[in-house]
């Protein structure tokens, strides 16, 4: 990768990519646009909308305390007052130690999809021990996971992480319902995830898309893989079961580097060196499959989020992008492990990589339902004069 003469232009393999003058998002996002100053639509949306939904200042901690009090009241008399999905990543791990300090009583669930790194297992154990939480680990049926992940490879879509992400959230929500828990805690946060191009992914919750891809490209029936339907996710759970998703990290100061330091000090946590390094599948998917097949470098939205949230300068981000995603030795080791785990040859992987790229909309999906729901939502908001949202 080499910087061209203008700071908002990159030259990659002879192709010119325009880069935002404020963050590091570029035209690998086909839907990106720039204003007269070269600032991208992602940055402008952050300033116009996202910034007003973010409350990281110490003065806003009273809002956090109010939410915590509400959760405790809803869970009064129950064994648990909330549910927390713990992956071993920084976001969920830091959230765990913070809610422990706030006195919440979560059912802590880890969904093992078969790709945990050794460090992730160790970090999960260290976090729950420090917090005094009990951990429930749900081990996915490997044949189901393997079948789904191979189906997605054959389908040629960019969103290869959907099988494990849907499994994580579906099991979390099912466990919440089974244990009469009304609050789901999420480590999702604006500080490190404010920017992500919609053109790069599909909703991990779209079970219609998942089942369509598996039906066309899978090898058999999914025996134990649990899903959540569109109607469950957007109607039944939030409105009939009164379930809410709460993101504590948006109501407290959250700096990723400081969070890692605190986790290291309190739990003996070991950092992964990169975002989502806790999953061997995600590491290979993000650092090889996406950039090689689709030209998507997921460091760009992550670093851009850190820029707009004030945790990193653009110059620091550009320097980090100069670093290779893999050394040759690391790539060969991960490629060999990935193929062996899925039971395919490296030649078979190369064949899948060489096939024409597909978009999730090439398969049945829930987009029509979602668009209809958004129209109903807009009508209700006009009628009621206030915001109406699931999991608000």
The boundaries of the domain holding residue 139 are 56-270+363-384
Mean pLDDT over the full length of the chain: 91
Percent of the chain with pLDDT over 90: 83
Q: Is residue 357 part of a domain?
A: no
Q: Do residues 290 and 158 touch, judged by C-beta distance below 8 A?
A: yes
Q: Is residue 296 part of a domain?
A: no
Mean pLDDT along residues 111-128: 94
CA pair distance 343, 355, nearest whole angstrom = 19
What is the domain count for the chain?
A: 1
The single residue listed with the structure tokens 């909308």 is: 49
Q: Is residue 28 part of a domain?
A: no
Q: Is residue 163 part of a domain?
A: yes
pLDDT of res. 13: 43
- DSSP letter (8 states) at residue 276: T
Q: Is residue 161 part of a domain?
A: yes
CATH number of the domain within which 169 lies: 3.40.50.620
* pLDDT tens digits, one per residue of 47-62: 999 998 888 876 668 8
pLDDT of res. 3: 32
Residue 156 CA to chain centroid, in angstroms? 20
pTM for the model stands at 0.90
End-to-end CA distance of the chain: 42
367 CB-near residues (< 8 Å, 6+ apart)? 361
Q: Is residue 217 part of a domain?
A: yes
Which of 246-250, 318-322, 348-352, 379-383 is least confident?
A: 379-383
Q: Is residue 179 part of a domain?
A: yes
Query: Quick check: helix, strand or coil at residue 19?
Result: strand
pLDDT of res. 276: 55
- DSSP letter (8 states) at residue 52: G
**C-beta contacts of 372-375 below 8 A and 24+ residues apart:** 373/234
Q: Is residue 300 part of a domain?
A: no
Q: Do residues 361 and 339 touch, judged by C-beta distance below 8 A?
A: no
Nearest by Cα to 83 from 181, 174, 159, 169: 181
């Amino acid at each position: 990768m080499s910087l061209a003469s203008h700071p908002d232009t990159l030259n990659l393999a002879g192709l010119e990519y325009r880069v935002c003058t404020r963050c590091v998002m570029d035209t690998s996002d086909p839907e990106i646009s720039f204003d007269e100053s070269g600032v991208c639509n992602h940055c402008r949306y952050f300033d116009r909308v996202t910034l007003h939904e973010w409350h990281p200042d110490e003065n806003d901690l009273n809002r956090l305390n109010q939410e915590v009090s509400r959760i405790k009241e809803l869970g009064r008399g129950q064994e648990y007052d909330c549910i927390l999905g713990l992956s071993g990543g920084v976001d969920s791990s830091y959230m765990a130690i913070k809610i422990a300090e706030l006195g919440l009583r979560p059912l802590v669930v880890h969904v093992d999809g078969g790709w945990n790194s050794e460090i992730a297992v160790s970090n999960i154990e260290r976090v729950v021990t420090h917090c005094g939480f009990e951990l429930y680990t749900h081990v996915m049926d490997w044949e189901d996971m393997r079948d789904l992940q191979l189906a997605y490879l054959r389908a040629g879509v960019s969103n290869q992480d959907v099988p494990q992400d849907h499994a994580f959230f579906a099991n979390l929500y099912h466990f919440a319902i089974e244990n009469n828990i009304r609050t789901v805690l999420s480590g999702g946060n604006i500080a490190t995830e404010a920017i992500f191009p919609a053109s790069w992914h599909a909703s991990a919750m779209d079970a219609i898309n998942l089942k369509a891809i598996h039906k066309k490209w899978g090898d058999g029936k999914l025996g134990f893989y649990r899903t959540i339907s569109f109607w469950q996710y957007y109607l039944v759970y939030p409105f009939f079961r009164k379930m809410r998703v709460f993101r504590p990290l948006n109501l407290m100061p959250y700096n990723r580097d400081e969070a890692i330091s605190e986790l290291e000090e309190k739990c003996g946590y070991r950092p992964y060196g990169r975002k989502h390094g806790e999953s061997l599948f995600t590491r290979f998917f993000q650092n090889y499959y996406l950039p090689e097949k689709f030209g998507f470098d997921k460091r760009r939205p992550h670093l851009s989020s850190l820029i707009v949230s004030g945790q990193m300068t653009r110059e620091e981000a550009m320097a980090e992008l100069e670093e290779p995603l893999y050394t040759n030795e690391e790539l060969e080791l991960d490629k060999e492990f990935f193929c062996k785990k899925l039971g395919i040859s490296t030649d078979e992987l190369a064949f899948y990589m060489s096939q024409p790229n597909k978009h999730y909309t090439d398969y049945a999906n829930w987009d029509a339902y979602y668009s209809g729901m958004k129209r109903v939502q807009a009508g209700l908001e006009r009628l009621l004069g206030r915001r109406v949202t699931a999991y608000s």
